[in-house]
Amino acid sequence: MTVSHRARNAETFHALDFAQRAADLEAQGHHVVKLSIGEPDFGAPPAVLAAGRDALDGRPLPYTPPLGLPELRSALSDFYRDRHGVQVPAERIAITMGASAALLLATAATTDPGDEVILADPSYPCNRELVQSFGGTVVALPTTAATRYQLDADMVERAWGDRTTSVMIASPSNPTGTSIPFDELAAICELARSRGGWRIVDEIYLELSDASPAHTVLEVDPDAIVTGSFSKYFGMTGWRLGWAVLPPQLVGPVERLAMNYFLSASNPTQQAALACFTPETLEVCERRRRELGARRRLVLEGLARIGLPVPVVPDGAFYVYIDVSGTGLGAWQFCEQALDVAHVALTPGRDFGPTTGETHVRLSYAASRGELNEGLSRLGHFLASRRG
Amino acid sequence: MTVSHRARNAETFHALDFAQRAADLEAQGHHVVKLSIGEPDFGAPPAVLAAGRDALDGRPLPYTPPLGLPELRSALSDFYRDRHGVQVPAERIAITMGASAALLLATAATTDPGDEVILADPSYPCNRELVQSFGGTVVALPTTAATRYQLDADMVERAWGDRTTSVMIASPSNPTGTSIPFDELAAICELARSRGGWRIVDEIYLELSDASPAHTVLEVDPDAIVTGSFSKYFGMTGWRLGWAVLPPQLVGPVERLAMNYFLSASNPTQQAALACFTPETLEVCERRRRELGARRRLVLEGLARIGLPVPVVPDGAFYVYIDVSGTGLGAWQFCEQALDVAHVALTPGRDFGPTTGETHVRLSYAASRGELNEGLSRLGHFLASRRG
């Protein structure tokens, strides 16, 4: 019996490993400040919880259609229209088990063995595994603070080759919380389109941008593949529900893959998610977005105070990407010691690519201000004790 | 922009298409007897619904570990011990978003491009798509009523080649409801093991066997990959929760793939599923199993009365696989006319492979006795009108 190459070569997602190590420490009675995982501490808004409970009242809960409950697809279509002013027919929206499954389906539907997919280093690690799992070759372009750790059109143009079929973008980005300037995003998409390439744009943090409403790529590239999620803005990480906006020619292919791979997303969770789009729930979510902005300021001030530089100030999501190279520790070591000594869980840059892998760590500020202050204080003492 | 070969070649799952056509007819005001989809009409047991509602009380619902909640993995381990007398450490159980995701992960972890995977024709269509999606070649062996439409060890031995890496089995089977005799199953697994091949055994209908407790392959092949589900026996189809039992050398690789592909299965659904393993819930499920047995007798008698032969009497699941070749209609035509004329939704054999694709249709008897009687009556009239 031989384990497949893709499984043998798959990288662990260290963010989850560090979270597990944090949980193990807590099980031993320690209080760990957990800033490693990209999960808001808010949870789902009250109306979503209530709708979820209502869905479990004994009514039938069969498989939904493979692309989701029609009423949820419609609600998302209305949301794109009302918030972003773009027309996205419900028929082009696929409801999926998290943005994870949306990215899996998008990759599976667009990547043949040998195809090259351009993406940024650093970026969300699972994208690389998905591309490779379906036989594609990842072309990870090193980025720097000069472009906010994002691709720009010049880079993409230089890297575009005969076998390139897609560019994958996330804006705002995980791990950096930085967005691509909108005209630059438009230029990248225009370039990829002109070369006959897919644009896979992950907008799961879009509604957690400083700009509100933020600009979706669909304003300038209606045929981009866009992934979204109920996890972040709506606080439903553990529920596993997301979506993809598909260009017309991908709807049928993705539907066929979705029915074979998954049958459908969860029926009760989809029913609960219908409560996301009321004015009341959106007001709850907007309050949370503003709270995350306040937490970011708190974290940036605190990190400056203890001497940990953040080379690029984020403009969305809930991450800061810290350069720890001045501490004399590699990023991995830094995360290990921060956890073991200071009981603060962070994520090493290695998850996100080699360019910043040994110099940067990701801090998720989706924790309460109290926890953030405690975490900053512990990191401060940890650094002081190293210097002292 | 080019759609990937896998997506272009993916077959639609006709069962879902016919279900959709049935739903469309119902939206027009018709009462359709829906016997096309493999979904019990029972729904989740009351204690599971209650636990699901409790999970939505505002408590944090973060991602779970990639292989699932430890307490749910333990509960399944206990279930295997108590019901089946096999020791399956919780560490070897992966909780997944339906058995669909379990099959996807099992295939991804064991199949390299060019690998050959042996399976039965007819069998569950999604397995073929999964193997092909990860670059494998499907070797579908035609079966007949003589082997209950299942593989036997002789067939597998003859088909085993240099590139064969796995055999995929489902027992009881979808679409036939037939199990492999246990000594034959053991012989197939022993053969595959001796050739260094994986045994992927789908047991999602195991607890809906006539024998109770039925024999899990783990009794004779503890290193088989076994997939299971909360969908069928526990009536949780639309919730999307299942599991895989993994041999030790696959636990790490599957965990890495699972975190990259899915992060985790749904947290609230896993909490709800903890209520599956109480004596009360199991008693509810056993009553349902007996009810399905009664429905099968009703359906077999009814089909005999109206002259539709079932070549092999099932011993589990909730399907009968009907030979319609005596009606003068191809199976596809039969399903179309049964739906359009008699308003009875069935699934054409084409879903399950070419051997029986044009001669057989699948009837799911997981509907109420009233609906089954009505469906049989309508089919009887439909056939009589064709003869008359």
One DSSP character per residue, A337-387 reads HHHHTT-EE-EEGGGG-HHHHTTEEEEE--S-HHHHHHHHHHHHHHHHHHH
Q: A388 lies in a domain?
A: no
Q: A96 lies in a domain?
A: yes
Q: Give the HSE-up count for residue B339: Cα atoms under 13 Å, Cβ half-sphere.
A: 25
Query: How close A117 gets to chain B, by Cα (Å)?
Result: 13
- The reply to whether omega before A172 is within 30° of 0 (cis) is yes
Residues B176 and B87 in one domain: yes
Q: Residue A11 and residue B260: Cβ atoms within 8 Å?
A: yes
In B, residues 123-142, which contact A (CB 8 Å cutoff)?
125-126, 129-130, 133-135
Residues A204 and A138 in one domain: yes
Helix (H, G, I), strand (E, B) or coil at B386: helix
**Residue A213, pLDDT score:** 87
Q: Residue A1 and residue B265: Cβ atoms within 8 Å?
A: no
Q: B375 lies in a domain?
A: yes
Domain boundary among B223, B258, B277: B277
Tokens of A3: 């384990």
Chain A residue numbers with beta carbons less than 8 Å from the beta carbon of B261 are: 100-101, 104, 126, 129-130, 133
Q: Residue A240 and residue B262: Cβ atoms within 8 Å?
A: yes
**Residue B227, pLDDT score:** 98
Q: B317 lies in a domain?
A: yes
**Residue A228, pLDDT score:** 98
Chain A to chain B Cβ contacts (< 8 Å): 265
Q: B388 lies in a domain?
A: no
**Residue A388, pLDDT score:** 74
Res. B236 pLDDT band, cuts 50 70 90: very high
Helix (H, G, I), strand (E, B) or coil at B93: strand
Q: How does strand A137-142 pair with strand A116-121?
A: parallel
Q: Give the HSE-up count for residue A35: Cα atoms under 13 Å, Cβ half-sphere.
A: 34
Res. B13 pLDDT band, cuts 50 70 90: confident
Helix (H, G, I), strand (E, B) or coil at A74: helix
Q: Are B149 and B143 in contact (CB under 8 A)?
A: yes
Residues A66 and A132 in one domain: yes
Which one-letter DSSP state was computed for residue A232? Answer: S
Tokens of A148: 């906010």
The list of chain A residues with pLDDT below 70 reads: none
**Residue B124, pLDDT score:** 96
Res. B213 pLDDT band, cuts 50 70 90: confident
List the single residue in A1, A7, A265 with the smallest CB-CB distance to B256: A7
The H or E element containing residue A117 is: strand A116-121
Burial class (CB in 10 A: 0-12, 13-18, 19+), B57: exposed
Q: A342 lies in a domain?
A: yes
CATH number at residue A261: 3.40.640.10
pLDDT in tens, A230-288: 999 999 999 999 999 999 999 999 999 999 999 999 999 999 999 999 999 999 999 99
Whether the per-residue pLDDT at B354 is higher than 80: the answer is: yes
Residues A251 and A297 in one domain: no
Domain boundary among A242, A277, A312: A277
Tokens of A331: 């990023």
Chain B residue numbers with beta carbons less than 8 Å from the beta carbon of A256 are: 7, 10-13
Cα separation, A246 vs A253, whole angstroms:
10
Name the residue of chain A whose CA is nearest to B17's CA. Answer: A65
Tokens of B77: 């381990």
Tokens of B182: 């246990």
Residues B108 and B193 in one domain: yes
Domain boundary among A255, A277, A299: A277
Q: How does strand B137-142 pair with strand B116-121?
A: parallel
- Overall average pLDDT of the B199-223 stretch: 96
Query: How close A307 gets to chain B, by Cα (Å)?
Result: 31
Chain A residue numbers with beta carbons less than 8 Å from the beta carbon of B272 are: 56
- Per the document, the length of chain A is 388
Residues B286 and B145 in one domain: no
- Overall average pLDDT of the B17-28 stretch: 91
**Residue B17, pLDDT score:** 85
Q: Residue B239 and residue A268: Cβ atoms within 8 Å?
A: yes
Name the residue of chain B whose CA is nearest to A112's CA. Answer: B4
Q: Would an 8 Å CB–CB cutoff place A240 in contact with chain B?
A: yes
Percentage of residues in chain B having pLDDT higher than 90 = 95
Name the residue of chain B whose CA is nearest to A23's CA. Answer: B65
The H or E element containing residue B345 is: strand B344-345
Residues A317 and A169 in one domain: no
Q: Are A84 and A218 in contact (CB under 8 A)?
A: yes
Burial class (CB in 10 A: 0-12, 13-18, 19+), B11: middle
ipTM summary value: 0.97
Q: B99 lies in a domain?
A: yes
Whether the per-residue pLDDT at B16 is higher than 90: the answer is: no
- Overall average pLDDT of the B252-275 stretch: 97
Residues A259 and A328 in one domain: no
pLDDT in tens, B95-148: 999 999 999 999 999 999 999 999 999 999 999 999 999 999 999 999 999 999
**Residue A335, pLDDT score:** 97
- For chain A, the distance separating the N- and C-terminal CA atoms, rounded to the nearest angstrom, is 54
Domain of A158, in residue numbers: 46-277
Q: Would an 8 Å CB–CB cutoff place A244 in contact with chain B?
A: no
Q: Best of B107, B131, B266 to disrupt the A interface by mutation (most A CBs within 10 Å)?
A: B266
Residues A272 and A374 in one domain: no
Per the structure, the count of domains in chain B is 2
Cα separation, B172 vs B179, whole angstroms:
4
Across all residues in chain B, what is the average pLDDT?
97
Residues A129 and A141 in one domain: yes
Cα separation, B27 vs A90, whole angstroms:
18
Q: Residue A108 and residue B4: Cβ atoms within 8 Å?
A: yes
Residues A38 and A62 in one domain: no
- Overall average pLDDT of the B337-353 stretch: 96
Name the residue of chain B whose CA is nearest to A192's CA. Answer: B1
Q: Residue B261 and residue A37: Cβ atoms within 8 Å?
A: no
Tokens of A356: 């910043």
Query: How close A221 gets to chain B, by Cα (Å)?
Result: 14
Q: A34 lies in a domain?
A: yes
* Spatial CB neighbours of B286, under 8 Å, sequence gap ≥ 6: B212
Residues B285 and B238 in one domain: no
CATH number at residue A31: 3.90.1150.10
Chain A residue numbers with beta carbons less than 8 Å from the beta carbon of B53 are: 53, 56
Chain A residue numbers with beta carbons less than 8 Å from the beta carbon of B368 are: none
